[in-house]
Amino acid sequence: MNPAHQHCGRYESFTSRRDFLKKAGAGFGMLALADLMGKNNQLAAAATEASNPMAPRAAHFSPKAKSVIWLFMEGAPSAVDMFDPKPELTKRDGQRIDIDVFNGNPGPLMKSPFSFAQYGESGAWVCEHYPNVAQHVDDFAFVKSFYSESNDHVPALYQINTGIPRPGFPSAGSWVTYGLGSGNNNLPGYVVLGNNQGVKGGNLNWSSGFLPTTHQGTLFRAGATPVINLTRPRDVSRANQRAQLDLMARLNQRHLDARPGEAELLGRIQSFELAYRMQAEATDLVDFSKESAATREMYGIDKDETRSYGSKCLMARRLVERGVRFVQVYSDGEWDAHSDLNGNHKGHCRATDKPIHALLTDLKRAGLINETLVIWGGEFGRMPVSQGNGGRDHNPNGFGMFMTGAGIKPGTSYGELDEIGYRAAVDRVSVHDLHATMLHLLGIDHKQLTYFHNGRRYRLTDVAGEVLQKILV
């Protein structure tokens, strides 16, 4: 008997000991079943990861962006000389202040050597040497109050790429492909278009860290051979190469069967197959012969000073239109103007202004801008005081970036540096905030994208990070 008695508008039940034990037993059974089903789901997910780790996966919520193009200005552009002029800095030019700098012996405050103008309906300020990029300011969200933790290039590069200013952690692109996979099975999900002298800190900037190695960035080069040693030897036929790969796959699979779950081995097996599939598609990717003369001229591919970055920007467009999830485009040389900031920044502006304008124009014309997030910026900023012969030292206390494309509120500006451009003063933004915002636009909750390693769950944003909702639509 289990009579029910109505009392005060609700039902109360009086349960016998036998009924209690029966229900409790059923409850424990349901818990066991739920646990078993959860493990089966995990096994199914693991099987999918093993068979095709780059298969597209569902986001946490509806994404605004499908891909990211990160225009990385290595060496650190100066905010007050590019997009954030400071009248007070001009007014106090030559005045000495008490300030901590990276290399010691700071000079006096130094006004910008460049003139500025306002552009678009938003009235955004842009320096005289970025006139083509300036045409797009009404599509940008300028974030002017970034800060980071290190005043040295290598740890600062690690932090902006991985969230942590130490080597060994997964890069942002690796986290993105780990969470979402890729839209192209014949190309890497994460491609890095490096610079001509080598990025400081090397491939640890695009490493997968403790994530499976299939999620590390693949370094591409401009030219006929985008990946070293990708081309099949002339004396090996495609059929023979396929037979060799099949034999190697069987041997590797036998080795893997004895060591199930070995992520490094799985990654190595999959890398052979990806390289085989890439031989045709990657070669086609860098063949610009089918692009019109107008397109090549727009990107500056026919001019010496813009050829390198123009080729990389065009390749970035071709990569995202083929479904590649994450592309980093490093500028050549370095914006590291410890002396002659005028000549250094002027040269880098000439090399990147036209190609970036072409990329943004092309993405908009093709409709890709509606599903691509574009980020522009370096690893930190530069000091308001002079150094050497008209240069500026490193400054992690305050710097700027801009974002445009999918999900970005156009014509906006967020945060402020102080009146001389030294520190982020209003609405300070951390690197973790940048990564949280990027993941949010891709449909990922940055707090839920985790990986268990060394006894704890890690995430790109560590234990911090806030989405910059005010720059989003």
- Which stretches of 4-123 are assigned E, i.e. beta strand? 4-7, 10-13, 67-72, 116-119
| Residue 149 three-state SS | coil
Q: State how many domains the chain has.
A: 3
Expressed as residue numbers, the domain containing 240 is: 232-274
Residue 205: inside a domain: yes
The 10 Å CB-count burial string (b at 16+, else e) for 405-434 is bbbbbbbbbbbbbbebbbebbeebbbbbbb
Residue 94: inside a domain: yes
Residue 20: inside a domain: yes
| 389 and 362 both lie in a single domain | yes
| 117 and 36 both lie in a single domain | no
Residue 280: inside a domain: no
Residue 279: inside a domain: no
For residue 383, the domain's CATH number is 3.40.720
| Residue 218 three-state SS | strand
| 399 and 438 both lie in a single domain | yes
The 10 Å CB-count burial string (b at 16+, else e) for 22-40 is eeeeeeeeeeeeeeeeeee
| 406 and 453 both lie in a single domain | yes
Residue 198: inside a domain: yes
| 160 and 300 both lie in a single domain | yes
| 8 and 124 both lie in a single domain | no
| 180 and 127 both lie in a single domain | yes
| 102 and 18 both lie in a single domain | no
| 236 and 310 both lie in a single domain | no
- The rounded distance, in Å, linking the Cα atoms of 178 and 49 is 9
**CA nearest 403: which of 50, 158, 165, 68?**
68
pLDDT by residue, tens only, the chain of 473 residues: 333 333 333 333 344 555 544 444 544 444 444 444 444 444 444 444 556 778 899 999 999 999 999 999 999 999 999 999 999 999 999 999 999 888 778 999 999 999 999 999 999 999 999 999 999 999 999 999 999 999 999 999 999 999 999 999 999 999 999 999 998 888 899 999 999 889 999 999 999 999 999 999 999 876 556 666 566 677 767 777 677 766 777 777 777 777 776 666 666 666 666 665 666 566 677 788 888 999 999 999 999 999 999 999 999 999 999 999 999 999 999 999 999 999 999 999 999 999 999 999 999 999 999 999 999 999 999 999 999 899 999 999 999 999 999 999 999 999 999 999 999 999 999 999 999 999 999 999 999 999 999 999 999 999 999 999 999 99
| Among candidate residues 274, 302, 336, the one where a domain is terminated | 274
Residue 59: inside a domain: no
| Residue 381 three-state SS | strand
| 250 and 379 both lie in a single domain | no
| 448 and 417 both lie in a single domain | yes
| Among candidate residues 242, 274, 306, the one where a domain is terminated | 274
pLDDT tens track for 54-107: 889 999 999 999 999 999 999 999 999 999 999 999 999 999 999 988 877 899
- The rounded distance, in Å, linking the Cα atoms of 24 and 37 is 20
Residue 51: inside a domain: no
According to DSSP, the residues that pair with 11 across neighbouring strands are: 6
- The rounded distance, in Å, linking the Cα atoms of 71 and 241 is 37
| Among candidate residues 248, 274, 300, the one where a domain is terminated | 274
Q: The pTM is what?
A: 0.83
pLDDT tens track for 195-250: 988 999 999 999 999 999 999 999 987 655 666 656 667 776 777 767 776 677 77
Angle subtended at Cα 337 by Cα 332 and Cα 340, rounded to the nearest 5 degrees: 115
| 140 and 98 both lie in a single domain | yes
**CA nearest 274: which of 375, 391, 363, 191?**
191
Backbone φ, ψ for residue 238 (5° rounding): -60, -40
